[in-house]
Amino acid sequence: MAQSRKRDNWGSRLGIIMAVAGSAIGLGNFLRFPAKAAANGGGAFMIPYFISLLLLGIPLMWIEWTLGRYGGGFGHGTAPGIFHSLWQKNRFIKYFGVIGIFGPLIIFVYYLFIESWTLAYSFFALTGKYTVLMDQGSLRSFLAGFQGLEKNQYFSGIGTAYIFFLITFLLNTWVIYHGIKGGIEKLCKLAIPLLFVFGLVLIIRVMTLGTPDLSKPGWNVLAGFGFLWNPDFSALKSAKVWLEAAGQIFFTLSVGIGVILTYASYLKKADDVVLSGLAAASTNEIAEVIFGASIIIPAAFVFFGPVDIKSIAQSGVFNLSFVTMPLVLNKLPMPSIFGFLWFFLLFLSGITSSISLAQPAVAFLEDEFNINRKRAVSIFGIVSFILCQPAIFFLGRGVVNELDFWGGTFFLVVFAAIETVLFVWVFGMDKAWDEIHQGADMAVPKVYKFIIKYITPLFLFIILGVWFIQEWLPVIIMKNVSVSDKPFIFGTRLGLLLIFIILVILVKVAWQRKRLQQD
């Protein structure tokens, strides 16, 4: 029989909290959240947001921390093995767990390219490459040239962007190569506090903007906060607003992806998951609700006023981050310094997320094929590097949006529904409740026993049901996709199907090998 490899572990409770918080804190906290809030009722958006946090986000967070720790006790760090540990009599349940490897891998292959833009812009800020540009048209052209979508006076091709992609890829690989304690934990314990320091400096700068244009006294920071937070309660009648709020909770806490399962699998049996999970979620919420709401929208309001800010808030993550915010900072003293703080903050949030997305695939190779980390990271690096290329070279063809929908939206909710039902209805709620409290420093309020068993799964199935009623047909037939882009979207879907099938085959092979070794 083959000898089992000793699994890695976390060095401290702070390390796992910072790592899970780092996985959750990303571009969505600083860009997606304020844009969603502004576009969906302002302060009223926070009602479904906090309801979703209490009924969906926190229960799923506890479920995933507990499932991960439980599966880690059996030597499994990814969903196929963890699901199998919960329901060993069902020979097919492990294949449902493939989603927990597939989702993070698909997000990783496009997220890394976007992350590399933030590193590039950090460098561009310090060198003054874009800080002299003073209108949105110039900054949009600068971004398009950098992305390789057009050739212009700023860039002649995608070469510069590709160099920064390579640097970012190598940095991620280096961190992952050094393992849980020596790589991921070390980075997150440094990056998360630094991220908060940069964010605090930017908030103070925004709060002291005053009224730059005295002829427009209404264009000030307080009015900017008012635009973001004044509630439009009529928005609560829209199902879309509730779905957007629930989607933001998924997005911001990194639940339903499979990452927390993997991170928690490196815990010891007596390690607390209740308080640690709550601390990680709280750290993320501070970054999102306080920092995310206090930088870009209020700052943009000061310079663009109540009319243009509406279109700016709805202009998308890329435009907010790489056009609007640089333009605001370019109008201030020391634009290079503040530009660097902004983009390096985004880079830190990006890299702590991307390394978490890589870990499930690496852990799968380590745990289920019993290979060392060096070889597992090498295999992952080669495969993921190849898979990254379509997102880079076909960015303008809708490939990234397609990858984001299936990897980062649809399957995220499906996976959360599967793991919740498995945990509370197959494993059993009483047994699950005891497992959650194993080694806990605080008791979960008893009302959550009812919420986790009934409300959370019902919430998830409602989200899926509404999607199937409203969206599935237009998505499948590519209703809103241009004729010229349809071959690229169809090719992307075929590629995703192939990747999923290969992962299913790998799970099958891994379990066959284990049976042979046991015999």
| Confidence at residue 228, expressed as pLDDT on a 0 to 100 scale | 83
Question: CATH assignment of 13-518, given 1.10.4160, 1.10.357, 1.10.443, 1.10.10?
Answer: 1.10.4160
> Helix, strand, coil: what percent of the chain each, to 5?
75, 0, 25
For every residue of 270-321, DSSP letters joined together read: TS-SHHHHHHHHHHHHIIIIIIITTSHHHHHHHHHHHHHHHHHHTS-HHHII
Output the six-digit token pair for 2: 């083959």
Q: What averages of pLDDT result for each successive group of 10 residues across the chain (519 residues)?
A: 69 93 88 83 88 95 96 94 93 95 96 96 96 93 95 94 98 96 96 95 91 81 87 84 85 89 94 94 92 88 84 80 92 94 96 96 95 96 97 94 88 92 96 95 95 95 85 85 94 97 97 84
| Confidence at residue 99, expressed as pLDDT on a 0 to 100 scale | 96
Burial class of 503 by CB neighbour count within 10 A (0 to 12, 13 to 18, 19+) = buried
φ, ψ of residue 285 to 5 degrees: the values are -65, -35
pTM metric for this prediction: 0.94
Angle CA 32–110–198, to nearest 5: 45
State the Cα–Cα distance between residues 191 and 23, nearest whole angstrom: 11
| Confidence at residue 1, expressed as pLDDT on a 0 to 100 scale | 40
Output the six-digit token pair for 69: 């720790």
Contacts 24+ apart (CB under 8 A), 157-164: 158/392, 158/393, 160/120, 161/113, 161/116, 161/117, 161/120, 161/392, 162/392, 164/116, 164/117, 164/119, 164/120, 164/123
List, for residues 258-296, the tens digit of each pLDDT value: 999 999 999 999 999 999 999 999 999 999 988 888 898
Domain ranges for the chain, please list them.
13-518
Which helix (H) or strand (E) is 146 found in, with range? helix 136-147
| Confidence at residue 2, expressed as pLDDT on a 0 to 100 scale | 46
**Could you say which DSSP state residue 215 is in?**
T
| Confidence at residue 426, expressed as pLDDT on a 0 to 100 scale | 95
Q: Do residues 336 and 128 lie in contact, with contact meaning Cβ atoms separated by under 8 Å?
A: yes
| Confidence at residue 371, expressed as pLDDT on a 0 to 100 scale | 93
Place of tokens 């700016």: 312
CA Rg value for the chain = 23
